[in-house]
């Protein structure tokens, strides 16, 4: 975990008299944590803000329970922006006990919510959905604000060939699939596609970056058996979980990125891969259909369809120059539509509307 700024009390008011707590009450690092970490420092430039919980990023002060206790009974509103059920529950309880909280929840889920989530959502002052599809499951009004990416951190490398070479991988090009190794992420779909394609394209190596959790050990072991049976152990690398700071460099080594999720909330890796200039083949999951211009800034495929993934990846593997051109178009789209500044500005508008109620 990165070093963070020391605990700083959140009592001091910002210039527009609006305060913000960003809770991250989940010990395991996840996609929700990643999206939260990226936008929070941008919001901290707009408001007096504090991060409560683990995995605090640079650029926003950490606060502890003592700082939170000092906010009890104050008159000015304090925005509590939850992204998980437990964070909504804590916010509701704190307000019930006298904290002057304005409660906001961001939902990325593309499914019907449980009764407890619906109950909590009804108690929020405002809701943000990360896509129109997510909004359709909320059954109340919501602002649609899609995630952004740090386009400076996730930037194309000066020399992609040199970035690839420093990893010591065989071949000349890399094709990646990042995220936890599990069926929901389509890790098996990616492995099966690579077992077909890599023998035909000896210049490519496949890279899977992501944690193998204990409950997914058997699943990951089955994937390794498939890789061994295909004789591709040296050409399909499963890195396991990496330090946060290492991940952007692994993206920069890629020529092609495969987003293979069967279902997804948003799918942050979509815009991370596009931002570094990798060509993208993406399943129609999460926000892919809103993010990708099919055939221009990426190629869309049905979730869980190995044949379709193979058919979409092969032309790009056959022609790395075409892959590079697609990557350039993807980068331009991210700069135009999916910057962190745009996301932070839209969230800030929600905060101001709520605080003015």
Q: Give residue-wise pLDDT tens across range 137-165.
A: 998 999 999 999 999 999 999 999 999 99
13 and 48 Cβ atoms separated by less than 8 Å:
yes
249 and 272 Cβ atoms separated by less than 8 Å:
no
Q: What is the arithmetic mean of pLDDT over 119-147?
A: 93
Say which residue the tokens 């065989």 belong to: 170
pLDDT reading at 3 higher than 90: no
Instruction: Identify the bridge partners of residue 22 per DSSP, sorted by sequence position.
Output: 51
113 and 85 Cβ atoms separated by less than 8 Å:
no
| Each residue's pLDDT tens digit, 269-291 | 999 999 999 999 999 998 899 99
Q: Give the residue among 4, 89, 16 at the shortest CA–CA distance from 51.
A: 4
DSSP 243: -
Residue 130: half-sphere exposure toward Cβ, Cα within 13 Å: 24
Give the model's pLDDT for residue 357: 52
pLDDT reading at 181 higher than 70: yes
pLDDT reading at 80 higher than 90: yes
Instruction: Identify the bridge partners of residue 80 per DSSP, sorted by sequence position.
Output: 21, 103
Share of the chain above pLDDT 70, in %: 95
Q: What is the arithmetic mean of pLDDT over 302-327?
A: 98
Distance from C-alpha of 347 to C-alpha of 335, rounded to nearest angstrom: 18
**Domain ranges across the chain:** 19-148+339-355, 160-337
Give the model's pLDDT for residue 1: 28
Q: Give the residue among 237, 117, 129, 111 at the shortest CA–CA distance from 174.
A: 237
Share of the chain above pLDDT 90, in %: 79
More confident residue, 9 or 200: 200
pLDDT reading at 249 higher than 90: yes
pLDDT reading at 172 higher than 90: yes
Strands 19-24, 48-53: pairing kind: parallel
pLDDT reading at 13 higher than 50: no
Give the model's pLDDT for residue 204: 98
pLDDT reading at 122 higher than 50: yes
Give the model's pLDDT for residue 317: 98
Contacts of 76 (CB under 8 A, 6+ apart): 13, 17, 19, 100
pLDDT reading at 35 higher than 80: yes
Backbone angles phi, psi at 207, to 5 degrees: -130, 125
pLDDT reading at 2 higher than 60: no
Q: Most distant CA pair in the chain: distance in Å?
A: 67
Pick the CATH number of 19-148+339-355 from 3.30.70.1150, 3.40.50.1360, 3.60.15.10, 3.40.50.2000: 3.40.50.2000
Distance from C-alpha of 196 to C-alpha of 232, rounded to nearest angstrom: 10
Q: Which superfamily does CATH assign the domain made up of 160-337 to? A: Glycogen Phosphorylase B; (3.40.50.2000)
pLDDT reading at 261 higher than 90: yes
225 and 129 Cβ atoms separated by less than 8 Å:
no
Give the model's pLDDT for residue 294: 96
Rg of the chain's alpha carbons, rounded to an integer?
21
pLDDT reading at 7 higher than 50: no
Burial (0-12, 13-18, 19+ Cβ within 10 Å), 312 = buried
Give the model's pLDDT for residue 8: 42
Give the model's pLDDT for residue 110: 83
Distance from C-alpha of 249 to C-alpha of 143, rounded to nearest angstrom: 33
Give the model's pLDDT for residue 353: 93
């Amino acid at each position: 975990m990165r070093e963070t700024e020391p605990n700083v009390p959140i009592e001091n008011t910002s210039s527009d008299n609006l305060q913000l707590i960003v809770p991250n009450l989940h010990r395991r690092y996840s996609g929700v944590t990643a999206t939260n970490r990226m936008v929070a420092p941008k919001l901290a430039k707009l408001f007096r803000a504090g991060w409560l919980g683990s995995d605090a990023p640079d650029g926003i002060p950490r606060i502890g329970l003592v700082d939170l206790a000092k906010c009890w009974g104050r008159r000015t509103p304090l925005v509590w922006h939850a992204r998980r059920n437990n964070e909504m529950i804590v916010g509701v309880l704190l307000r019930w006990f006298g904290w002057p909280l304005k409660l906001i929840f961001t939902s990325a889920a593309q499914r019907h919510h449980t009764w407890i989530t619906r109950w909590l959502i009804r108690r929020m002052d405002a809701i943000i959905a990360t896509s129109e599809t997510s909004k359709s499951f909320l059954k109340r009004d919501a602002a649609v604000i899609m995630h952004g990416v740090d386009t400076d951190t996730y930037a194309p490398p000066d020399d992609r060939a040199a970035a690839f070479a420093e990893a010591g991988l065989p071949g000349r090009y890399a094709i990646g699939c990042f995220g936890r190794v599990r069926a929901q992420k389509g890790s098996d779909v990616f492995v099966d596609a690579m077992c077909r394609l890599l023998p035909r394209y000896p210049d490519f190596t496949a890279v899977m970056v992501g944690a193998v959790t204990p409950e997914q050990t058997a699943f990951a072991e089955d994937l390794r058996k498939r890789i061994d049976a295909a004789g591709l152990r040296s050409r399909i690398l499963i890195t396991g979980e990496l330090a946060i700071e290492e991940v952007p460099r692994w993206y920069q080594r890629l020529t092609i990125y495969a987003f293979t999720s069967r279902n997804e909330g948003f799918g942050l890796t979509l815009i991370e891969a596009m931002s570094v200039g990798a060509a993208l083949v993406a399943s129609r999951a999460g926000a892919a259909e809103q993010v990708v211009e099919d055939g221009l800034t990426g190629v869309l495929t049905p979730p869980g369809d190995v044949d379709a993934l193979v058919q979409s990846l092969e032309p790009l593997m056959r022609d790395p120059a075409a892959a590079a051109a697609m990557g350039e178009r993807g980068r331009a789209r991210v700069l135009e539509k999916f910057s962190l500044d745009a996301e932070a500005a839209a969230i800030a508008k929600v905060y101001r509307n709520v605080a003015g109620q």
